[in-house]
Amino acid sequence: SSDGNKIALAEFSCEPNIYIWELDKKTPTMLSGHLKFPTSLSFNSNNSRLVSTAEDGRVYVWNLEENNHFFFERHSEKSNYDWVKFAVVSPNARSVVIAYADNHICFWDLQSDEKNIFKCDEINCASFNSDGTLVATGGEHGDVRIWNVATHTNTLLGQHDHRVKSVVFNDN
């Protein structure tokens, strides 16, 4: 977590559980719901939400303050390869960007529950800017794109010779 007081971990065992360790406690809190192995975890900036993704195609948003959750599961008639590579929650916890293994990106507005899914090149990483209005993505084929969260449009920022594995905004 951004305050350094919590660690989230996904266990790769018989049960696809997620654990939240608070550093001042000796026992973790277990979060269960995924049907297959979790693939990524992401806290929002004030650590009130945790987003988890898994090979089951589900994206969970865990409300850590109120001890509840909700999820989104994408079903595609054209693809049986709907597992989720990762998701990143915006700093203000209003939206989530989701990258699917079948080269789709989803913008999920958590306030309206609106979901917009687009075909794209394979995405390896994503990062929101500090106010949650832009998302930077890095791709398998070296592309770096900036997405407008409100309009879902993107601009190619640059092209590299090799895959991009990490992007992050510097808001200064």
Kindly report, residue by residue over 91-145, the tens digit of the pLDDT: 888 899 999 888 889 999 988 989 998 888 899 999 999 999 999 999 999 999 9
Kindly report, residue by residue over 22-34, the tens digit of the pLDDT: 889 888 998 988 8
pLDDT over 60 at 162, yes or no: yes
Among 47, 36, 54, smallest CA distance to 7 is for 47
83 membership: H or E segment, kind and range: none
Q: What average pLDDT does the segment 136-161 reach?
A: 94
pLDDT over 80 at 77, yes or no: no
What b-and-e string marks burial along 89-121, b requiring 16 or more CB atoms within 10 Å of the CB?
A: bbbbbebbbbbbbebbbbbbebeeeeeeeeebe
- Structure tokens belonging to residue 94: 């209003």
CA distance 141 to 116: 23
pLDDT-based confidence at residue 56 (cuts at 50, 70, 90)? confident
Kindly report, residue by residue over 121-132, the tens digit of the pLDDT: 899 999 999 999
- What pTM was estimated for this model as a whole? 0.82
pLDDT over 60 at 75, yes or no: no
* CA 46, chain centre distance (Å): 16
CA distance 9 to 53: 12
pLDDT over 90 at 165, yes or no: yes
**8 Å CB contact between 49 and 33:** no
Mean pLDDT in the chain?
87
pLDDT over 80 at 172, yes or no: no
Percent of the chain with pLDDT over 70: 94
